[in-house]
């Protein structure tokens, strides 16, 4: 049934308007799904609250309206099914603006934080509009929810379903990718701006973009104040079902929905998948001192993990922790992922601080978390990539042990070991070999594959790749926290001078080290992930926690594409090489077993003297041979990697049994462009005597 309008509630400065009572219409009004759902008769609003004593929908004409023009009171006798409040309002259409409002007990020590004056964001809102409005009267006015029509012409688009083993991930920030004036984009800093740069992404060769959070998050302060430090990264969710309004072109309420879909459709047309970085571990409502914006005002102790005194458990490091394994939260996350897969054709998800998803309602880690299992087993997510950041801010570190064979993981061990090896630390040879081989120590025993290791050396969180070889100390003063924020343990090296320098030898060494690490990343077994701008030596000026830097520190500087064309050419060539050579992206772990049919083993390791590696007494420099045993492709060719992180020239003797093959150089990171890389693998042949001299900090690659 349809309920009546009830103008029984007024707000400061509001003139009470008596609205005509609509006729009650007999119709099937099933209370699910949640949110604001368009129907022929109007809009059906459904929201969960177990403890609320009253529920209302506030309706607005314009984004700028401080007060609603109409208030719809739910009738508990007819508009409540169990703990679901449900009402259909006739005459409403797509674009309608609204909030929920709930009454109930305010007993923080018992976990109840109802506020009858609060305007609440619908947890299932499909879009938000506007900003937080100033609150001189003490009422927080968050962005308004928008009723969305999901119709869109996908032009036959479907998920690309590319195997993870054939994936190259490019982590990027939607706004930062084109916000710089140097981008010359017509729609800078937007979803449409990303479309303009698809030719660049395609030429680079990446197969997937991993977008930093695009779920709605605060643009300005919840109290309406100007933020001293803007929330640039977006790890502060307001509405999990809604694409961020700050990345749309124009100001029409809800336009971000269509523009985001246009971006996904265009990326798919170019053969590029879209992975979302999702933040289901905390929200923008913060701790007990934070505002009531949505979940707190609907059922605080269901949506959040609380201490016995009603304060918030903080496993996220951001003030609160979403109670992900409560059935209500689990259901919401489950519906949210399906929403993005079906309505937006999203190809995968990277779960921020995913270890929180493994915690029960008391915060204890569980061996078989229901939420993690639901995500892995959901049939609608069967074609999607699911990736865990397998740690949290409370000390959990589950890399290698997070979940089952559906889950891939950001491999933090890979990041640290590759960094430490190339900066010349002793005792890292075995770790380097293990990481290049797909991290079998982490994933093989659980039945997972090399591609479940998401290999990365840099990410949004930390130094850029060029800063990794230019700074030994973080320089986060611009963040306004007296340089206390950010990680202090970066395994970085400035190679002689802290920060910018004009020294040609130092600049050449830094460039070489970038190539060493980029080549290691792209030629490792597993799934590589690189960060936007690393291919052109983007710098954040030593800032390793640029979460609040919505400026040139974080933006992609498109002048670097031309300035550092040498590095871009190198990166493109190695990506293309990876795609063409199946023995650097195997779907099973390497064995090192004897060759078959005269082929080289799938992997073999040698020291610089040309003898098999003695792992009990390893040297700093190593030779890796990726053979073709176990590969059906007749075009597969053996690959030889020589790695020398030392500070002096190192002689390498290639074993005699390998010299029967004809080897040609693919790259030499110490050579000057264009001799640093030979995209057609037509570089110098291996000397007849098998002796190579590698300069300090050098990596070479030969192909048989």
- Pairing type for strands 527-531 and 453-455 reads parallel
The tokens of 230 are what?
């803007």
Helices (H), 226-369: 255-269, 296-303, 327-344
* CA–CA separation, 240 and 600 (whole Å): 50
Beta strands in 493-582, from DSSP E residues, in sequence order: 527-531
* CA–CA separation, 361 and 113 (whole Å): 19
* CA–CA separation, 106 and 280 (whole Å): 26
* CA–CA separation, 221 and 63 (whole Å): 17
What are residue 571's phi and psi, to 5 degrees? Answer: -65, -45
* CA–CA separation, 242 and 150 (whole Å): 12
* CA–CA separation, 284 and 286 (whole Å): 5
Sorted by sequence, the CB contacts under 8 Å of residue 635 that are 6+ apart come out as none
Sorted by sequence, the CB contacts under 8 Å of residue 609 that are 6+ apart come out as 653
The tokens of 168 are what?
């190259």
For the chain, the residue count is 704
Could you tell me which residues are beta bridge partners of residue 585? none
Count of C-beta atoms within a 10 Å radius of residue 256: 27
What is the residue whose two structure tokens read 């934080």? Answer: 113
CA torsion through residues 219, 221, 224, 225, sign: negative
Beta strands in 439-578, from DSSP E residues, in sequence order: 453-455, 527-531
Produce one character per residue of 268-302: b if its CB has 16 or more CB atoms within 10 Å, e if not. Answer: beeebbbbbbbbbbbbbbbebebbbbbbbbbbbbb
C-alpha atoms less than 13 angstroms from C-alpha of 508 in its C-beta half-sphere: 12
* CA–CA separation, 263 and 249 (whole Å): 12
Could you tell me which residues are beta bridge partners of residue 98? 59, 145
* CA–CA separation, 534 and 134 (whole Å): 40
* CA–CA separation, 466 and 457 (whole Å): 11
For residues 298 and 47, the answer to whether their CB atoms sit within 8 Å is yes
Active-site amino acid positions: 352, 389
Q: Which helix (H) or strand (E) holds 215?
A: strand 215-216
Q: Which helix (H) or strand (E) holds 563?
A: helix 560-563
| DSSP state string for 388-456 | E--B-TTS-B-TTTSS-TTEEEE-HHHHHHHHHHHTT-TT-HHHHHHHHTT-HHHHTTTT--GGGEEE-
Distances (CA, A) of 124 to 206, 293, 329, 429, 615: 33, 13, 12, 50, 55
Nearest to 164 by CA among 509, 586, 482: 586
The tokens of 85 are what?
């409040």
């Amino acid at each position: 049934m349809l309920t009546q309008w009830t103008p029984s509630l007024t707000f400061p400065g509001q003139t009470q308007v008596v609205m005509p009572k609509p006729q009650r219409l007999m119709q099937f009004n099933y209370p699910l799904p949640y949110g604001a759902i368009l129907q022929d008769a109007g809009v059906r609003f459904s929201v969960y609250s177990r403890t609320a004593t009253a529920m209302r929908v506030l309706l607005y004409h314009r984004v700028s309206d401080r007060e609603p023009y109409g208030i719809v009171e739910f009738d508990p006798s007819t508009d409540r099914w169990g703990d679901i409040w449900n009402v259909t309002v006739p005459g409403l259409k797509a674009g309608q603006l609204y909030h929920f409002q709930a009454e109930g007990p305010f007993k923080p020590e018992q976990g109840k934080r109802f506020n009858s004056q609060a305007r609440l964001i619908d947890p299932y809102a499909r879009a938000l509009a506007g900003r937080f409005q100033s609150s001189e009267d003490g009422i927080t006015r968050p962005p308004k929810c928008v009723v969305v029509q999901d119709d869109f012409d996908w032009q036959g688009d479907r998920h690309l379903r590319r195997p993870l083993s054939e994936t190259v991930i490019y982590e990027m920030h939607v706004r930062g990718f084109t916000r710089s004036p140097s981008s010359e984009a017509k729609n800078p800093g937007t979803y449409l701006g990303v479309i303009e740069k698809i030719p660049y992404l395609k030429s680079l060769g990446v197969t997937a973009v991993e977008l930093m959070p695009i779920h709605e998050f605060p643009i300005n302060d919840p109290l309406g104040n100007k933020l001293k430090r803007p929330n640039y990264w977006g790890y502060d969710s307001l509405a999990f079902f809604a694409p961020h309004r700050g990345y749309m072109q124009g100001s029409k309420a809800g336009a971000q929905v269509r523009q985001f879909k246009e971006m996904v459709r265009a990326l798919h047309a170019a053969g590029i998948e879209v992975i979302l970085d999702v933040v289901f571990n905390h929200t923008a409502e913060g701790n007990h001192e934070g505002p009531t914006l949505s979940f707190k005002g609907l059922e605080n102790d269901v949506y959040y993990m609380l201490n016995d005194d009603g304060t918030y458990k903080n496993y996220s490091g951001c003030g609160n922790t979403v109670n992900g394994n409560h059935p209500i939260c689990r259901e919401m996350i489950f519906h949210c992922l399906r929403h993005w897969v079906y309505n937006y054709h999203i190809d995968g998800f990277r779960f921020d601080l995913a270890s929180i998803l493994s915690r029960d309602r008391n915060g204890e880690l569980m061996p078989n978390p229901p939420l993690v299992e639901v995500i892995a087993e959901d049939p609608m997510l069967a074609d999607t990539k699911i990736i865990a950041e397998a740690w949290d801010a409370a000390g959990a570190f589950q890399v290698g042990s997070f979940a089952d064979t559906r889950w891939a993981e950001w491999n933090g061990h890979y990041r640290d070991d590759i960094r430490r090896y190339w900066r010349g630390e002793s005792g890292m040879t075995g770790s380097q070999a293990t990481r290049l081989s797909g991290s079998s120590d982490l994933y093989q025993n659980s039945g997972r594959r090399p591609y479940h290791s998401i290999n990365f050396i840099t990410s949004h969180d930390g130094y850029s790749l060029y800063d990794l070889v230019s700074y030994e100390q973080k320089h986060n003063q611009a963040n306004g926290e007296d340089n206390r924020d950010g990680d202090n343990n970066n395994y970085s090296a400035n190679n002689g001078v802290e920060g910018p320098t004009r020294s040609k030898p130092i600049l050449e060494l830094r460039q070489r080290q970038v190539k060493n690490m980029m080549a290691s990343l792209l030629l490792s077994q597993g799934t590589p992930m690189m960060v936007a701008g690393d291919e052109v030596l983007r710098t954040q000026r030593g800032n390793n926690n640029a979460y609040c830097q919505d400026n040139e520190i974080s933006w992609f500087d498109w002048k670097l594409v031309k300035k550092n064309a040498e590095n871009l050419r190198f990166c493109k060539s190695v990506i293309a090489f990876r795609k063409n050579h199946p023995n650097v992206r195997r779907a099973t772990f390497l064995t090192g077993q004897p060759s078959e049919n005269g082929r080289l083993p799938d992997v073999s390791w040698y020291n610089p003297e040309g003898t098999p590696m003695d792992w009990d007494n390893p040297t700093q420099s190593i030779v890796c041979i990726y053979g073709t045993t176990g590969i059906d492709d007749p075009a597969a060719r053996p690959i030889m990697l020589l790695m020398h992180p030392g500070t002096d020239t190192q002689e390498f003797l290639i074993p005699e049994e390998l010299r029967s093959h004809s080897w040609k150089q693919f790259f030499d990171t110490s050579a000057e462009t264009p001799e640093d890389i030979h995209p057609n693998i037509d570089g110098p042949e291996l000397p007849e005597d098998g002796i190579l001299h590698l300069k300090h900090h050098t990596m070479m690659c030969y192909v048989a």
